[in-house]
Amino acid sequence: MTRASRDKVVAVAGATGAVGEVLLRVLEERAFPVAELRPLASERSAGAVVRFRGTDHRVEVARPAALDGADFVFFAATGTLSKELAPEAAERGAVAIDKSSTWRMTEGVPLVVPTRSTGTGGSSRVRTARRSPSSWCSRRCTVRPASRASW
């Protein structure tokens, strides 16, 4: 099975926070093909659990090694953490998606504007314009439209 075709290893930095919690619920609701979920946070929450698809998942400290083998890394923590770890995620071949404003105005960093599919094919759009909802990705990574039909 190729990396593209298998279910995904998904890390969520900031999984214990307000945005991280919503993100987990969205991944559930949209049946995102998660093979492995890695909830990450600061040392304060290490060892805590978050609920995902009816199962408790233990929270680990967000550090580079926690990103090994990840396909997607969502950043819903601090801008400082995004700045430090998003390049680490990209170095490991993951798609990094940042909810902070850290990379919003950075040249060469794609901005993804997820829209819900209204029909059959998944009509999400990817834009490179500034002043859009923030997302981060290295120049080498692939941007996936955020619609279920397109995962």
Binding site residues, ligand NAP, CB under 6 A: 13-20, 41-42, 44-45, 62, 76-79, 81, 99-100
Count of other CB atoms within 10 angstroms of residue 125 = 12
The distance of closest approach from Cβ of residue 15 to ligand NAP in the complex, given in angstroms and rounded to an integer, is: 6
Q: Residue 69 or residue 133: which is nearer to ligand NAP going by CB?
A: 133
Q: Residue 63 or residue 122: which is nearer to ligand NAP going by CB?
A: 63
What is the C-alpha separation between 86 and 32, in angstroms, rounded? 21
The distance of closest approach from Cβ of residue 14 to ligand NAP in the complex, given in angstroms and rounded to an integer, is: 3
Q: Residue 18 or residue 129: which is nearer to ligand NAP going by CB?
A: 18
Query: Helix, strand or coil for residue 60?
Result: strand
**CA 86: distance to chain centroid?**
10
Which amino acid is present at 11? A
Number of residue whose CB is nearest ligand NAP? 17
> Is 69 in contact with 35 (CB distance < 8 Å)?
no
Residue 73, both tokens: 């890394």
Q: Residue 27 or residue 76: which is nearer to ligand NAP going by CB?
A: 76
